[in-house]
Chains A and B, each alone.
Chain A
């Protein structure tokens, strides 16, 4: 079992739906990340939160909206997604964002399918 918990594990939604992905960690980490992973590809960074503030947005379309309500929680709000957005969405955390190569710890992801 990982120390980064993601819910739901699977999500099927239509292109007009609004849904949210949730991520939780209780390791005291102050950096949290969203990644997108397509089949047979490495994870691609989407967003980074550092001390609950958005630090990095890797030019992600606005139909993906991240939120960090507190130091343990990270959400990804989804709206009007496209079929090409179907992928595994991974959350990760690390002690900090700003220095000394802190290892990132991943959750098991939410497998998202867009109909």
Chain B
């Protein structure tokens, strides 16, 4: 079993839709949770970073962590064509090392 599983997509939605991107993880020792956005031919850009269960909101983006279910989500409200990118979830144990475990990524296309 992979440590982090991510819905592979691709996902295509109309402009203005609410997008839900999801990952599950297997090890309850993971403490830190991140979402990165990667545009074509660019590096991953940190979108959201959280270390607790619950919701964290930043503009149109909401990151949700449910540690009891080992489930993390990213919601995008009022999606825009500029949101078209690959979204990567990542988890981290914290503690002795800062190694990231990435999901496989979900390619999102927002159609105008």
Q: Is the CB of B45 within 8 A of A42?
A: no
In the complex, chain B residues whose CB is within 8 Å of the CB of A81: none
Determine if A59 is an interface residue (Cβ-Cβ < 8 Å). Answer: no
Residues of B within 8 A of A4 (CB): 43
Q: Tell me the A29-82 residues at the B interface (CB within 8 Å).
A: 31, 40-43, 45, 48, 56
Query: Would B92 and A101 count as touching, CB distance under 8 A?
Result: yes
Q: Using A42-B104, A42-B105, A111-B41 as known contacts, say yes or no to A103 and B46 having CB atoms under 8 A apart.
A: yes
Docked CA distance A109–B38 (Å): 11
A31 nearest CB across to chain B (Å): 6
Report the Cα distance A40→B41, complex, angstroms.
Answer: 11
Tell me whether A41 and B45 are in contact (CB under 8 A).
Answer: no
Q: How many residues of A contact B (CB 8 A)?
A: 29
Q: B94 touches which one: A99, A105, A109 (CB < 8 A)?
A: A99
Question: What is the minimal beta-carbon distance from A14 to any residue of chain B, in angstroms?
Answer: 23
Within 8 Å of chain A (Cβ to Cβ): is B88? yes
Q: Inside 8 A of B105's CB, which chain A residues have their CB?
A: 40-42
- Give the segment of B13-21, B60-68, B71-79, B95-103 that binds chain A: B95-103
Query: Which residues of chain B in 38-66 are interfacial with respect to chain A, using CB atoms and an 8 Å cutoff?
Result: 41-46, 49, 51
Query: Which chain B residues lie closer than 8 Å to A105 at the CB level?
Result: 46
Give the distance to chain B from A98, nearest Cβ to Cβ, in Å: 6
A to B CB contacts below 8 Å, 29 in the list: A40-B105, A42-B102, A42-B103, A43-B44, A43-B102, A45-B99, A45-B100, A56-B97, A90-B44, A97-B98, A98-B96, A98-B97, A99-B94, A99-B95, A101-B31, A101-B32, A101-B51, A101-B92, A101-B98, A102-B98, A103-B34, A104-B46, A105-B46, A106-B43, A106-B44, A106-B45, A106-B46, A107-B43, A108-B41
> Given A43-B102, A101-B98, 20 more contacts at CB 8 Å?
A2-B45, A4-B43, A41-B105, A42-B102, A42-B103, A43-B44, A97-B98, A99-B98, A101-B32, A101-B92, A101-B93, A101-B94, A103-B46, A103-B49, A104-B46, A106-B36, A106-B43, A106-B44, A106-B46, A109-B43
